[in-house]
Amino acid sequence: MSHRMMVLLVVGAALLLAGPLSGQEGMGPRGKGKGPGGGGQGGGGQGAAVQGGAGRAGMGQGGMRQGGMGQRGMGQGGMGRGGDAAMQADRDLFHELLTHRAEIRRTVKPIDGGVETLTESDNPAVAAAIRKHVGSMKKRVEGGSPIHLRDPLFAEVFRHAEKIQFAYEKTKQGVRVVETSDDPYVAKLIQAHAEVVSLFLKNGFDEVHKNHAVPAKP
Ligand code: HEM
């Protein structure tokens, strides 16, 4: 009898301890996910969105599951339901560009500190869409309002956005972009991103669904 009581007591105590612990595990990643999301939505919290963008908090705790949650939370700031006001317009534009990718040609020239790119189309509507996309991406880089954070390379570009100089000029059929940084690592990020834009053109939506590696630090 007393042995049975002991067993009941031990089981009861174990249940009490297990309850709050598993609750904390559940809350942790969710709480983190929300943080960067809020930053992404508020203009004033832009720094937070960029810094939280990599889901470092989630990843830092090690587990795959927590890393995944961190990324989902971050996604809500950068691309998810909340998004920012320009998000849907930007997405529509990606779609248009990707749909017309066969009509777009592009060259990427690595230069000191970054790239010079020329992206053009004979179709005036597509040329206009390219210019519009570049204009709004420049604003995102300069305003620290990131997009496509699910992809580690994009997250890393936006984390270093304040070190990027982004200039462009209209050409007859599109746009010439000069994107550079004084920081050699950021220059590598810019070059890697430019190659990914070219891959978007080559492979379309399949490439957009992929994650792209962050280059090694020099
Ligand atoms: C066919 C499709 C696309 C074209 C032609 C295109 C074109 C460009 C061009 C010309 C630039 C300026 C920088 C450079 O030339 O390397 C740029 C920047 C950018 N694009 Fe796109 N893009 C396309 C698709 C996308 C997609 C699908 C996304 C995101 C989901 C995206 C996100 C960005 C971002 C964030 C930047 C600014 C970051 C940076 O330049 O470092 N683009 N894009």
Same domain, 112 and 169: yes
| Residue 25 sits in the same domain as residue 62 | yes
- Statement to judge: residues 71 and 94 lie in one domain: no
Q: How does pLDDT run across 64-100, given as a tens digit for each residue?
A: 223 333 333 333 344 444 468 889 999 999 999 999 9
Give the mean model confidence (pLDDT) for residues 177-205: 98
Is the domain of 177 the same as that of 197?
yes
Please answer whether residues 113 and 179 qualify as being in contact, where contact means their C-beta atoms are separated by less than 8 angstroms. Answer: no
Same domain, 99 and 64: no
Residues 24 and 121 in one domain: no
pTM: 0.70
Which of 51, 78, 105 lies at the terminal end of a domain, its last residue? Answer: 78
Claim to verify: residue 113 and residue 167 sit in the same structural domain? yes
Q: pLDDT confidence of 103, banded at 50, 70, 90? A: very high
In a domain, residue 215? The reply is no
CA 92 to ligand 1 center in whole angstroms: 13
Contacts of residue 86, defined as CB under 8 A and 6 or more positions apart, other chains included, come to 136, 139, 140, 145
If asked whether residues 69 and 116 sit together in one domain, one would say no
CA of 198 to the centre of ligand 1 (A): 9
Written in H, E and C, the secondary structure of 1-57 is CHHHHHHHHHHHHHHHHHHHHHHHHHHHHHHHHHHHHHHHHCHHHHHHHHHHCCCHH
Which of 59, 78, 97 represents a domain boundary (last residue)? 78
| Number of domains comprising the chain | 2
- Please tell me if the CB atom of residue 130 comes closer than 6 angstroms to any atom of ligand 1: yes
3-class DSSP assignment, residue 183: coil
Judgement on whether residues 141 and 170 belong to the same structural domain of the protein: yes
Cα distances (angstroms) measured from residue 52 to each of 31, 35, 49, 77, 125: 12, 8, 5, 9, 36
Query: Around Cβ 115, how many Cβ atoms within 10 Å?
Result: 21
Q: Is the CB of 153 under 6 A from ligand 1?
A: no
Question: In terms of domains, do 56 and 91 share one?
Answer: no
| Residue at 213 is within a domain | no
Choose the most confident range, by mean pLDDT, from 14-23, 34-43, 61-70, 122-131: 122-131
Q: Is the CB of 177 under 6 A from ligand 1?
A: yes
Residue 188 located in a structural domain: yes
Could you tell me what percentage of the chain is helix, strand and coil, using 3-state DSSP and rounding each to the nearest 5?
65, 15, 20
Considering the domain architecture, whether residues 38 and 96 belong to the same structural domain is answered as: no
Contacts of residue 77, Cβ cutoff 8 Å, sequence gap at least 6 = 36, 37, 38, 39, 40, 41, 49, 52, 53, 146, 149
Select from 137, 147, 164 the residue to mutate for testing ligand 1; criterion: most ligand atoms less than 8 Å from CB: 137
Contact 118, 176 (CB under 8 A): yes
Residues 107 and 154 in one domain: yes
Mutation to probe ligand 1, out of 133, 157, 166 (largest number of atoms < 8 A from CB): 133
**Whole domain around residue 184: which residue ranges?**
87-208
Whether residue 217 is contained in a domain is answered as no
Among 27, 44, 78, the domain boundary falls at 78
**Which pLDDT value is given to residue 105?**
98
